Amino acid sequence: MDVAITGDPGSLIDGSSVRDPNGEEHFRGPMGIVLARVQGVRLQGYTLVNSANWANVLPACQDVVINDVTVLGGHDGFDLHHARHVTIAGCRIETGDDCLAGYDIQDLTVRDTYLNTACNSLRVGGTGIVFDHCTFWGPGKFPHLLDHNFDTLNVFMYFAMQVDPVTTTAADVTIRNASIDHVSHLVTYLQGEPTALQDGPALQSLTFDNVQIANITETSLFVGRSENVALRLKECVITPTTSVPLLHIDDHVRLTLDHVFFTAPTTFLVTDGPTLTFNGLTDFSR
């Protein structure tokens, strides 16, 4: 089945921030657009504002193409649980909750998209996930509607739940040709942690390639615990926040720095190991 929603210039869908005291968290109202298990989805050329819950919900959809869609305010921008073969391009997502969320995703490419949030820019898990020429910018323009906070919490937070079986056994994410500025944490990964919704299949690799990173205000926890995970930074420029370590990793993290330029001394904490400090153009592996 093929489904297309195409907006004329100026097309607007207003969720009106409808509140439902019997809804999720005792205030969330209805979702915006919901398409489940559809093969062949085309979304283009509309703006969805003030969604009372998730704005665009596409669980288990396949062959999805999304172009020139704007999400303003409300909750999650796009939810892609179990989705397959998804391309998102030229979109603007300014939300109070996660910009993009979904686990067990297979083959997702997001290009030329602006992401601004009072929660997580990316809360995703799966295989073949690539973000190319995207801008991640905080703090959020719109508040998180539960805690009324504007801070962007994470650029990337891994998402894999044991309670919902997945088919993607390899989990890899790449962020390339991107700009990241004014966020609390670059990443959060705590392998096997149910309270973080990260107790499904472990992340295998996370890559930052040609990314400008600045104004990360808190230390990111990225730990493999019992599972090895590769973290690679390639051709990145990192401007650290004074006296704040960028990352805290453990012995299960295989860290590679490939021509990374640190504009000032930058520290990485290592569980039960020596602190690593980098400055200037750096190549490093452990």
Question: Mean per-residue pLDDT for 132-136?
Answer: 98
Mean pLDDT of 97-110: 97
Q: Which residues pair with 56 in a beta bridge?
A: 33, 78
**Mean pLDDT across the stretch 183-206?**
96
At 165 the pLDDT is 76
272 burial (CB, 10 Å; 0-12 / 13-18 / 19+) is exposed
Looking at 112-228, which runs of residues are DSSP E strands?
114-117, 120-132, 135-137, 154-158, 172-183, 185-190, 205-216, 220-223
What letter does residue 50 receive in the DSSP assignment?
Answer: S
- Domains within the chain, CATH numbers bracketed: 3-285 (2.160.20)
CA distance 143 to 74: 9
Which residues on neighbouring strands pair with residue 93, listed in sequence order? 71, 115
Q: Judging by beta carbons within 10 Å of its beta carbon (0-12, 13-18, 19+), is residue 241 exposed, middle or buried?
A: middle
What are 225-268's pLDDT values in tens digits?
Answer: 999 999 999 999 999 998 899 999 999 999 999 999 999 999 99
40 φ/ψ angles, rounded to the nearest 5 degrees: 90, 75
On average, the pLDDT of the chain sits at 96
| 95 has pLDDT over 80 | yes
Nearest to 52 by CA among 9, 16, 105, 6: 16
pLDDT at 170: 76
Q: Give the pairing of strands 92-95 and 120-132.
A: unpaired
pLDDT > 80? residue 72: yes
Q: Identify whether the C-beta of residue 248 lies closer than 8 Å to the C-beta of residue 271.
A: yes
Q: How many CB atoms lie within 10 A of CB 5?
A: 17
pLDDT at 23 > cutoff 90 = no
- pLDDT tier for residue 24 given thresholds of 50, 70 and 90: confident
Contact at 8 Å (CB) between 259 and 284? no
Buried b vs exposed e over 213-222: b needs ≥16 C-beta within 10 Å?
A: beebebbbbb
Q: What is the structure's pLDDT at 192?
A: 95
Question: What's at 174, amino acid-wise?
Answer: T
Judged by DSSP in three states, 196 sits in helix
| Torsion (CA) 125, 229, 256, 249 in degrees, nearest 10 | 100
Residue 169 has pLDDT above 80, yes or no: no
What's the mean pLDDT in 194-204? 95
Inform me whether the pLDDT recorded for 1 exceeds 80.
Answer: no
What whole-number distance in Å separates Cα of residue 226 and Cα of residue 245? 23
Whether 164 shows a pLDDT value over 90: the answer reads no
Return the minimum-mean-pLDDT range out of 12-26, 67-81, 87-101, 208-222.
Answer: 12-26
Percent of the chain with pLDDT over 70: 100
